[in-house]
Amino acid sequence: MLIMNARCIFLSAFLFLSALIPAWAGEPQDVAAPKPAPLPTQLRRPVALGLLDDAARLAVANRRSGTVSLLNTDTWSVINEFPVGKQLSDLAVLSGGRQLLATDEAGHELIALRYNNDALQETSRLPVSPFPVDLILNDDATRCYVASLWSRRLTIVSVSTQSDSNVELQILKTVALPFEPRKLLLLGDAGMLIVADAFGGQLAVVEAETGEVRSIRELPAHNLQGLTLNHAQDSVLITHQHLNPLARATFNDLHWGMLSNNVARPISVQRLLSPTANLLDGRGAVRLGDVGHGAADPADIAMLDNGRIAIAFAGTGEVAITDLAGRDMRRYKTGRRPTALLATVNSGEVIVANTLSDSISVIDPAADPPVRNISLGPTPAPSPQTRGELLFFDAGISHDSWMSCHSCHTDGHTSGLTADTLGDGSYGAPKRIPTLLGVSQTDLWAWNGSMKELHDQIDQSIRTTLHGDPPSGADVNDLAAYLQTLKPPPPLRPRTIDAADEASLTRGQTLFHGMNCIQCHVPPVTYTTGGVFDVDLVDEVGNRKFNPPSLRGVGRRRGFFHDKRAKTLGAVFTDYQHQLDRDLGVQEFKDLVRFLESL
């Protein structure tokens, strides 16, 4: 009996110790898949998609939660959700389908992740230019290009895959741009990278190898939200909007689609790469939407295997599938604000990220029903701010769904254009579309200061610009609650630790106070005031008194005064001597502009 007990004790000890001995060093070990916990209740806001593991898994980057959701593409069920960053903005999958890169807009980082056995593991992080919003890999995944919004930078990154588990990231070059960038497209055969303006209609043509900016082209467009190449690789397809400068925000101009056009436009690669060629060469732009059935806010665009294209209509919660000429268009209802598309290679399906529904949709035109919606997890009860966000991006508040608030105020900012609305009480004097970032710091609304409360401005805009149904008091309250969450944009040129620069900024601030600019632009918070002033500027219908806009983020504006008559911030003083009682010296001018660009 004692011998048997000793044998049992020895065997138990042997088995216990065996469990502690690591596997043979030369044998690769898979990370065990964690047991999925219940998905948290939170807002996710999906914005980017990528297929992993031979398309058996789908990775979804979530902006609000900073997580990546992992889905099984056979069952279209959520496997798990992984915390990755603060505010994810994009992702891209490396060749092999087991490694991916993600950008963290709030963390200002590029993050490398490894997929294995239904788990995601971080392998490296790289600080990049602040506010990264988009990324693209070259064909062999040895380089990554990152567009950073508010810092106006393009970061070129070397991507080195050391093993199946490690990715090494190194910055090769940082490129300054003259506008806030977002979407990227590589022209592989030409060795060029196209960088699209996040708000206006500019396109930068950048040499992919060196980062040299070869040219800046401009379209009569804004909200450039989708870029792709056609199958022949000889045209770039761009989705955008066009605000007609000859139209007014009347019911008729909106009803007939004359005020705001939603467009998918092909542009010849040859013309795009030629610095002086006309980009509007007459090749068929596809007009999206029709009378009675608008198609506001076209977003991502994807080429399908059968030669057709898919276009997300973010404002109407739809995806359209059509040919390159816009014929035989079928519109599929998805979730709210579809912003990202992913066309599968063999199945003919289109995967859609529905940003404001916290869901994805899978569209299979041959299936019945053709659309399947998959929730990414439980969400909290909507707050007034959340409901207001839904309304802001919803073209359903406009007549026939031609426009949303986002159509002119891109992501809460501005398209930088002028519009002839009843904001100042009459037509005939188009006004610059102001940013709504930091709108809570405004004391009066409308250029003539006629709106004492933000709620009144919202109500009038819906009734007289969007020509939607009269909004309820609850909807107006919700929109106001959302707008009050929007912070001012970061300064174009933040303060630095450079002594000479700090001295220039301080001198400029002293000038600002000394010339009594603070009478209309009261520091230190709002840089505006609740009044209207005659500053020797008269519009086309005789208005002379205007409410001074806040100077927060003034360096980012693309035109100044109510009608953009001053093209640059410097021109406010050099061309119009705005409120100057004397000529500024060369250094004084530089100092004043430096101070203003720091706000």
What is the Cα Rg of the chain in Å? 27
**Cα separation, 233 vs 171, whole angstroms:** 29
- Point out the least confidently predicted range of 96-100, 142-146, 251-255: 96-100
Q: Are 432 and 418 in contact (CB under 8 A)?
A: yes
pLDDT at 26 over 90: no
**In terms of domains, do 474 and 506 share one?**
no
Q: What is the pLDDT of residue 442?
A: 83
Q: What is the pLDDT of residue 163?
A: 67
Which of residues 69 and 95 earns the better pLDDT score? 69
DSSP 533-577: EE-S---TT---EEPPPP-TTGGG-SSBSTT--B-STTHHHHTT-
As given in the structure block, the two tokens for residue 191 are 């060795």
Q: Are 181 and 154 in contact (CB under 8 A)?
A: yes
**Cα separation, 39 vs 58, whole angstroms:** 17
As given in the structure block, the two tokens for residue 439 are 């709108």
> Is 283 within the bounds of a domain?
no
What is the layout of strands, in order, in the sheet containing 213-218? Answer: 181-187, 192-197, 202-207, 213-218
Q: What percent of the chain has pLDDT over 70?
A: 93
**Cα separation, 558 vs 524, whole angstroms:** 23
CATH number at 461 reads 1.10.760.10
Which of residues 549 and 48 earns the better pLDDT score? 48
Among 328, 263, 256, 345, smallest CA distance to 296 is for 263
In the predicted model, what is the mean pLDDT of the chain?
A: 91
**Cα separation, 275 vs 33, whole angstroms:** 52
Q: What is the pLDDT of residue 31?
A: 44
> Is 264 within the bounds of a domain?
no
Which of residues 283 and 41 earns the better pLDDT score? 41
Give the residue-averaged pLDDT of 237-248.
96
pLDDT at 141 over 50: yes
pLDDT at 102 over 90: yes
**In terms of domains, do 162 and 189 share one?**
yes
**In terms of domains, do 508 and 470 share one?**
no
DSSP 437-498: TTGGG-SSBSTT--BSSHHHHHHHHHHHTS--SPPPHHHHHHHHHHHTTPPPPPPSS---S-
pLDDT at 541 over 50: yes
Give the residue-averaged pLDDT of 322-341.
95
Q: Look at residue 105 and give its three-state secondary structure.
A: coil
| Confidence grade of residue 96 (pLDDT, cut at 50, 70, 90) | confident
Q: Look at residue 338 and give its three-state secondary structure.
A: strand
| Confidence grade of residue 190 (pLDDT, cut at 50, 70, 90) | confident
CB atoms within 10 A of CB 533: 16
Give the residue-averaged pLDDT of 92-107.
95
**Domain carrying residue 572:** 499-597
pLDDT in tens, 208-223: 999 999 999 999 999 9
**Cα separation, 162 vs 153, whole angstroms:** 28
pLDDT at 18 over 50: no
| Confidence grade of residue 35 (pLDDT, cut at 50, 70, 90) | low
**In terms of domains, do 100 and 158 share one?**
yes
- The answer for residues whose C-beta is within 8 angstroms of residue 348's C-beta and 6 or more apart is 304, 305, 306, 364, 365, 366
pTM of the full structure: 0.92
Q: Look at residue 292 and give its three-state secondary structure.
A: coil
Among 513, 571, 474, 552, smallest CA distance to 561 is for 571
Q: What is the pLDDT of residue 10?
A: 33
**In terms of domains, do 52 and 170 share one?**
yes
Give the residue-averaged pLDDT of 459-469.
96
**In terms of domains, do 526 and 578 share one?**
yes
Which of residues 563 and 188 earns the better pLDDT score? 563
Q: Are 84 and 66 in contact (CB under 8 A)?
A: yes
* Among candidate residues 193, 218, 243, the one where a domain is terminated: 218
* Among candidate residues 187, 218, 249, the one where a domain is terminated: 218
Q: What is the pLDDT of residue 283?
A: 66
pLDDT at 337 over 50: yes
Structural domains counted in the chain: 3
The HSE-up count of residue 27 (CA atoms within 13 Å, CB side) is 4
**Cα separation, 232 vs 223, whole angstroms:** 25
* Among candidate residues 483, 516, 531, the one where a domain is terminated: 483
As given in the structure block, the two tokens for residue 411 are 């992501």
Q: Which DSSP helix (H) or strand (E) runs through 506?
A: helix 499-514
